[in-house]
């Protein structure tokens, strides 16, 4: 339907993970794609490699349309109406729509499954997409993260595992973003809700009650025959479930849930669990750490069972899941002693879940967390919670707050967070990457098992490979020293450089 009326889509703020996913969708549909963002990144480079015209910086000349009636401009929620390209689109008579409005039109093409919730959307949506691909369904997908391509086959069947792809099958998976309330534009056939907890206080000034009402309105957009799969353990999600008149299926650990999960133990970077559906029990090794991910996998299991897939088939494809980029991603393991992990967590609940997962998987390692807060409004709203959860690390290094367009105002920032943490844990602030690497030097060089965690939704992820490089350089120096000593009759004490 869309292709009958639109030839050209221009994305303002195309470098974000959600916007770039939709740009891939537009390319798959055979539409001309252009766009702009403040700077070029790996998302924009991937689009340019497919023929999209992407420009760094926002300028009038970026928007070139041959027919204003057959073009549309899609804007990220981070783009103000004063943006020069938005204003120029108005001058040209080109329609300007929100990202979610474009996503809503894509949903009309397929039997859509929307994944909503404050936490866990990307993991659940990615795992569900992976399973459907492996089960031969070739779904359309719009994801907020990238499935780990380093471990996954580039394409399975007819579907390349990009974070935005049009598949030939009847099903579609997409994340429903509650951050700005735009998920209310979506009308999916089925839905999964992982949890409902207050976040994005810059939008939800009315608190969790206001957000709960929005989730209820969103849930009403699923038809009476659609599957509503909600986490029964989360208080916010359970409240939502109790207020929905239509049939709801719940998942989680509690016995009252329709689909249950029981953890049997940690195994390396994964865990052994059992999924229970009535009297049926099936064992599964989930290649993800943490109880929250056991619950997430249970939600996927439940939706797939309702869609008609066998328990054995579901387990087989879950066990092959390679993970999601920036969701407790293992960046490096040097001799098993020095480990680097990168994660997107930026809410106190997410910090707690990541710490719990890593402590269980690496109990002998000290936890060194490099944290970058995301938005001053979030830090201000959850300041005490951030202090409490971050104190769970052995050492914390606080980066400047990633503003995401906000200014600090009178609320707390980096310095206030450092001072509050100083009362309970070893903490330091840093301003540039080089200073951090100097501060980490002793922990990189000593022999104590250490897990370095880069944590946050901003730029902190770029520090992980720098820490990895420093660790590898140190290991190589140690190897050279040991080899030199061995030549002089000293014992050799190193078992391989990388594990």
β-strands 270-277, 159-160 pairing: unpaired
Q: From 227, 363, 236, 378, select the one nearest 305 (Cα to Cα).
A: 227
> Which residues make up the CATH 3.90.190.20 domain(s) of the chain?
329-484
Q: Per-residue confidence at 458, pLDDT binned at 50, 70, 90? A: confident
Band of residue 478 on the pLDDT scale cut at 50, 70, 90? low
- 110-319 classified as CATH 3.40.50.2300: no
Asked if 403 and 376 touch (Cβ cutoff 8 Å), the reply is: yes
Give the pLDDT band of residue 77 (cuts 50, 70, 90).
confident
Give me the percent of the chain exceeding a pLDDT of 70.
93
Lowest mean pLDDT among 151-160, 200-209, 347-356, 460-469: 151-160
Question: Band of the pLDDT at 194, cuts 50, 70, 90?
Answer: very high
Contacts of 499 (CB under 8 A, 6+ apart): 333, 334, 335, 336
Q: What is the pTM of this model?
A: 0.89
Task: Give the residue from 24, 39, 115, 122 showing the smallest Cα distance to 74.
Answer: 24
- For 189, which DSSP code? S
Second-level CATH architecture of 329-484: Alpha-Beta Complex (3.90)
**pLDDT tens readout for residues 93-103:** 999 999 999 99
Both structure tokens of 431:
């301003």
Q: What is the pLDDT of residue 498?
A: 25
Q: Where in the chain is the domain with CATH 3.40.1190.10?
A: 110-319
State how far the Cα of 490 lies from the Cα of 492, in Å rounded to an integer: 7
**DSSP codes, 64-84:** --S-GGGEEEEE-TTS-TT-H
Residue 482 confidence (pLDDT) above 70: no
Output helix, strand, coil percentages for the chain, rounded to the nearest 5.
Answer: 35, 25, 40
The dihedral built from the CA positions of residue 367, 370, 375 and 376, taken in this order, carries a sign that is positive
Beta strand 190-193 pairing with 159-160: unpaired
Q: How many helices (H) and strands (E) does the chain have?
A: 15, 23
For residue 138, pLDDT over 90 is answered with yes
Residue 218 has a pLDDT of 94
Q: What does the pLDDT look like over 37-64, one tens digit per residue?
A: 998 898 999 999 999 999 999 999 999 9
DSSP sequence for 87-118: HHHHHHT-EEEEHHHHHHHHHTTSEEEEEE-S
Q: What does pLDDT average to over the chain? A: 90
Q: In this model, does residue 151 exceed pLDDT 60?
A: no
Is residue 366 within 8 Å of 448, Cβ to Cβ?
Answer: yes
pLDDT range class, residue 119, cuts 50, 70, 90: very high
pLDDT value at residue 492: 27
- Banded model confidence at residue 404, pLDDT cuts 50, 70, 90: confident
Q: Give the start-end residues of each E strand in 106-154.
A: 111-116, 140-142
Residues 6+ apart with CB under 8 A from 158: 138, 167, 168
What pLDDT, on a 0 to 100 scale, did the predictor assign at position 261?
98
Instruction: Name the residue with higher pLDDT: 4 or 193.
Output: 193
% of the chain with per-residue pLDDT over 90:
79
List residues with catalytic annotation. Answer: 121-122, 175
Distance of alpha carbon 196 from its chain centroid, rounded?
16
| pLDDT of amino acid 179 | 84
- SS3 at position 240: helix
Q: Where in the chain is the domain with CATH 3.40.50.720?
A: 2-99
User: Looking at the domain covering 2-99, what would its CATH class be?
Assistant: alpha beta
What average pLDDT score do residues 230-253 get?
96
> Quick one: DSSP state of residue 225?
T
- Judged against a pLDDT cut of 80, whether residue 243 lies above it is answered with yes
């Amino acid at each position: 339907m869309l292709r009958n009326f639109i030839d050209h889509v221009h994305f303002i703020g195309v470098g974000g993970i959600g916007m770039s996913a939709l740009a891939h969708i537009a390319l798959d549909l055979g539409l001309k794609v252009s766009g702009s963002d403040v700077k070029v990144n790996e998302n924009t480079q991937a689009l340019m490699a497919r023929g999209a015209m992407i420009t760094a910086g926002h300028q009038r000349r970026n928007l070139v349309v041959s027919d204003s009636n057959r073009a549309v401009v899609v804007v990220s929620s981070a783009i103000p109406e004063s943006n020069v390209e938005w204003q120029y689109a108005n001058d040209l008579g080109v329609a300007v729509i929100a990202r979610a409005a474009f996503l809503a039109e894509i949903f009309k093409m397929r039997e859509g499954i929307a994944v909503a919730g404050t936490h866990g959307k990307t993991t659940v949506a990615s795992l569900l997409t992976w399973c459907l691909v492996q089960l031969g369904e070739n779904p359309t997908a719009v994801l907020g993260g990238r499935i780990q391509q380093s471990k996954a086959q580039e394409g399975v069947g007819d579907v390349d595992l990009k974070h935005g792809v049009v598949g030939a099958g009847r099903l579609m998976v997409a994340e429903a973003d509650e951050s700005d309330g735009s998920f209310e534009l979506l009308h999916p056939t089925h839905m999964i809700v992982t949890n409902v907890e207050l976040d994005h206080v810059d939008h939800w000034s009315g608190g969790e009650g206001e957000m709960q009402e929005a989730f209820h309105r969103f849930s009403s957009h699923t038809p009476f025959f659609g599957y509503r799969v909600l986490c029964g353990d989360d208080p916010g999600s359970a409240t939502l479930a109790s207020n929905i008149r239509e049939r709801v299926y719940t998942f989680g650990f509690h016995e009252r849930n329709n689909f249950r999960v029981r953890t049997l133990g940690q195994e390396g970077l994964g865990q052994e669990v059992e999924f229970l559906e009535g009297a049926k029990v099936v064992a599964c090794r989930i290649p993800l750490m943490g109880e929250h991910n056991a619950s997430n996998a249970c939600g996927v299991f439940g939706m797939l069972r309702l869609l008609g897939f066998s328990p054995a088939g579901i387990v087989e494809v879950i066990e092959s899941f390679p993970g999601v980029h920036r969701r407790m991603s293992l960046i490096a393991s040097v001799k098993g002693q020095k480990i680097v992990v990168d994660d997107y967590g930026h809410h106190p609940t997410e910090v707690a879940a990541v710490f719990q997962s890593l402590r269980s998987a690496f109990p002998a390692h000290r936890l060194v967390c490099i944290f970058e807060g995301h938005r001053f409004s979030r830090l201000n709203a959850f300041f005490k919670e951030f202090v409490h959860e971050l104190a769970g690390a052995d050492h914390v290094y606080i980066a400047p707050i990633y503003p995401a367009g906000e200014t600090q105002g009178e609320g707390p920032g980096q310095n206030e967070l450092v001072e509050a943490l100083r009362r309970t844990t070893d903490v330091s602030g840093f301003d540039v990457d080089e200073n951090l690497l100097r501060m980490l030097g002793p922990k990189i060089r000593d022999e104590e098992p250490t897990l370095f965690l880069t944590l946050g939704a901003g730029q902190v992820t770029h520090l992980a490979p720098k820490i990895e490089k420093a660790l590898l350089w140190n290991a190589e120096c140690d190897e050279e020293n040991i080899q030199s000593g061995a030549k002089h009759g000293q014992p050799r004490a190193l078992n391989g450089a990388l594990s």
